[in-house]
Amino acid sequence: MQLTQAIRRAMQIHGGRTATIQGSRRRTWSEFGQRVASLAGALCEQRLSPNGRVALLALNSDRYLESFYAAIWAGGIVVPINSRFSVAEIVFCLNDCGAEILMVDDAFAPIAPDLRAQALGLRHVISIGEAHTAAYEELLAATAPVADAAHAGSDVVGIFYTGGTTGRSKGVMLTHTNLASMALNNTGAMSLDETAIYLHVAPMFHLADITMFVSVMQVAGTHVFIPRFDPQPVLRNIEEHRVTITMLVPTMIHALLDRMESCPADLTSFKAFLYGASPMPAPLIARAMAKLPHVNFYQGYGMTEAVPATILEPRFHTPGGAKLGSAGRATYFAEVKIVDPSDGEVPRGEVGEILIGGPMVMKGYWNQPKLTEDALRGGWMHTGDAGYMDEDGFLFVVDRLKDMIISGGENVYSAETENAIYQHPAVAMCAVIGIPHQEWGEQVHAIVLLKDGQRVTEEDLVAHCRKLIAGYKCPRSIEITKDPLPVSGVGKILKRQLRERYKTEPMRRARTF
């Protein structure tokens, strides 16, 4: 299997159809393919080594997509870097993977000289931003297209640095077979074809978007880009370009539904969206379903190292449905099992670690043979997530194992407590973490952001939780904050940062019960 084959197929079959839409700029598949081959030529002229790393640091755009495929076409390995990373983190990635060429847009052009000074192997920087349009177009026009390096199968497509929600960033190596089988899985599960019009909302460096865009490439659908998530442009682009499908993470859905209340938009073209990347609070999905009754919802579960592992199809998205809290069932080529600490499968219904097997499981962590061996021991990806499987094979992700709080000998899954808090109508955002406690080991602590204009006391919130969940699962301390919680590039709440804060400033502004 080969990712670049999708481009040749699209050119052969859909050459005149629209491949990309960026504002008023449109390109056909013939143009897109020619541009990728020319940009690959430019990378080759910069003496890109076979499997040489090409780092990409940019917001979403049609040129991001061109660059992503040009790096592969040229025989290199693409390294899409998290656009939220600090300069130090970016330098770490560039040096860790030994990037030879860096492609940056206008948002990152200012730090390029700094990166170049610190990233030792970096030989060349290409600007793909709008401010450098003339030079970029000149480069493409002046460069002869090259033939596809035709990497395939177990050849590495890219190195994807994990978001770092749980420690130091690791480079996940994904192969052509990894991404191609993922694409076919989605194509089948979501019945995609060339009529798909996909809006890139999640950042393109993240597997949340890559999962979908590789599928859309495969069926030769149309790509529409917005630089970054912002509710208003999402709604406007869906309306204007008759978008049929997108990928959203829970925090985005939340913001989008809020905006829809004040700014009605024509979303009749919108047929389906995939959501995932972090746990979806039950009240939020219920609200989304009520607001968008004509839309098919798909929930995906996976991680950069193995995506997608499970999918929850639209027919299980029924209000109050028994499976709605589930992450769905194994995708066509995935195997999912729940194990005890010695990797033995546990009975259905029992919580354990979620393991994933199949062609979507990564080749390994770049330059980390020991971490790779540990993560892939026995041939299974050890997700570090806790979950259980019901009798029908539906996976319920309880929490990240690392997010499990052990308080007074009881296991508390933070997602369960968060779910309870989210059911309070005044809550905009919340996170539950364990903080050190002398007697209990850890205590359940909640950080809550209220919706604008809402007033609720900590006592009210605890009383609300007590009605919904067992006492030991309710917060023992709550901080109502005025600041949005820290989130990763893809909208995951960075609990690591919250925990760090409580190490240095214990119980800053919290009330304890």
Question: Which phi and psi (to 5°) does residue 27 adopt?
Answer: -130, 145
Please tell me whether residue 250 adopts helix, strand or coil conformation: helix
Residue 33 or 171 with smaller CB distance to a second copy = 33
- Least distance CB 188 / a second copy (angstroms): 4
- Least distance CB 335 / a second copy (angstroms): 6
Q: Which stretch binds a second copy (CB under 8 A): 2-10, 78-86, 93-101, 121-129?
A: 2-10
391 class by beta-carbon count within 10 Å (0-12 exposed, 13-18 middle, 19+ buried) = exposed
123-125-126-132 Cα dihedral, nearest 10 degrees: -150
Q: According to the binding rule CB under 8 A, does residue 2 interact with a second copy?
A: yes
Hey, what amino acid is at 372?
A: T
Residue 447 pairs with which residues in a beta bridge? Answer: 431, 479
Question: Which phi and psi (to 5°) does residue 242 adopt?
Answer: 55, 50
Q: Helices (H) and strands (E) in the chain — how many of each?
A: 15, 26
Q: What is the CA radius of gyration of the chain?
A: 23
Q: According to the binding rule CB under 8 A, does residue 350 interact with a second copy?
A: no
Terminal CA-CA length for the chain: 57
Residue 393 or 436 with smaller CB distance to a second copy = 393
E-strand ranges in 352-476 read 352-357, 364-365, 381-389, 395-400, 404-407, 410-413, 427-437, 441-450
- Least distance CB 6 / a second copy (angstroms): 8
Q: Using CA atoms, how far apart are residues 375 and 370, in angstroms rounded to an integer?
A: 9
User: Which of the residues 184 through 203 are near a second copy (CB under 8 A)?
Assistant: 184-185, 187-188, 191-192
Q: According to the binding rule CB under 8 A, does residue 330 interact with a second copy?
A: yes
Residue 194 or 258 with smaller CB distance to a second copy = 194
Tell me the two tokens of residue 465.
């939780």
Q: According to the binding rule CB under 8 A, does residue 256 interact with a second copy?
A: no
Which of 336, 354, 478, 485 touches a second copy (CB under 8 A)? Answer: 336
Number of C-beta neighbours around residue 228 at 10 A: 14
Q: What does the per-residue mask of binding to a second copy show for 358-377, with x meaning CB under 8 A?
A: xx------------------
Residue 94 or 354 with smaller CB distance to a second copy = 354
Q: Which stretch binds a second copy (CB under 8 A): 9-17, 35-43, 448-456, 493-501?
A: 9-17
Q: What does the per-residue mask of binding to a second copy show for 214-233, with x meaning CB under 8 A?
A: ----xx--------------
Residue 325 or 408 with smaller CB distance to a second copy = 325
Residue 19 or 431 with smaller CB distance to a second copy = 19
CB 275 within 8 A of CB 254: no
Q: Give which of 498, 376, 397 is closest to 448, Cα–Cα.
A: 498
Q: What does the per-residue mask of binding to a second copy show for 10-29, with x meaning CB under 8 A?
A: --xxxx--------------
- The DSSP H or E segment spanning 208 is helix 207-219
- Least distance CB 152 / a second copy (angstroms): 8
Residue 182 or 405 with smaller CB distance to a second copy = 182
- Least distance CB 177 / a second copy (angstroms): 7
User: Which of the residues 153 through 182 are near a second copy (CB under 8 A)?
Assistant: 153, 177, 180-181
Q: Which stretch binds a second copy (CB under 8 A): 1-9, 90-98, 258-266, 444-452?
A: 1-9
Q: According to the binding rule CB under 8 A, does residue 243 interact with a second copy?
A: no
What residues contact 405, with CB distance under 8 A and at least 6 apart?
Answer: 411, 412, 413, 414, 432, 433, 434, 442, 443, 444
Hey, what amino acid is at 66?
A: E
- Least distance CB 215 / a second copy (angstroms): 9
- Least distance CB 158 / a second copy (angstroms): 19
Residue 164 or 328 with smaller CB distance to a second copy = 328
For a second copy (CB under 8 A), the number of binding residues is 36
Angle between helix 458-466 and helix 414-422 axes, rounded to 10 deg:
110
Q: According to the binding rule CB under 8 A, does residue 335 interact with a second copy?
A: yes
- Least distance CB 249 / a second copy (angstroms): 25
What residues contact 304, with CB distance under 8 A and at least 6 apart?
Answer: 160, 162, 163, 172, 174, 207, 362
- Least distance CB 354 / a second copy (angstroms): 13
User: Which of the residues 377 through 416 are near a second copy (CB under 8 A)?
Assistant: 389, 392-393
Residue 14 or 132 with smaller CB distance to a second copy = 14
Q: According to the binding rule CB under 8 A, does residue 304 interact with a second copy?
A: no
- Least distance CB 381 / a second copy (angstroms): 14
Length in residues, the chain: 513
Q: Where do the H-state alpha helices sit in 46-111?
A: 62-73, 87-97
Q: Which stretch binds a second copy (CB under 8 A): 73-81, 119-127, 326-334, 463-471?
A: 326-334
DSSP-derived pairing of the beta strands 77-80 and 53-57: parallel
Give the HSE-up count for residue 198: Cα atoms under 13 Å, Cβ half-sphere.
33
Angle between helix 29-45 and helix 133-142 axes, rounded to 10 deg:
80
- Least distance CB 220 / a second copy (angstroms): 9
Residues in contact with a second copy by the rule CB under 8 A: 1-2, 5-6, 8-9, 12-15, 153, 177, 180-181, 183-185, 187-188, 191-192, 218-219, 329-330, 332-336, 357-359, 389, 392-393
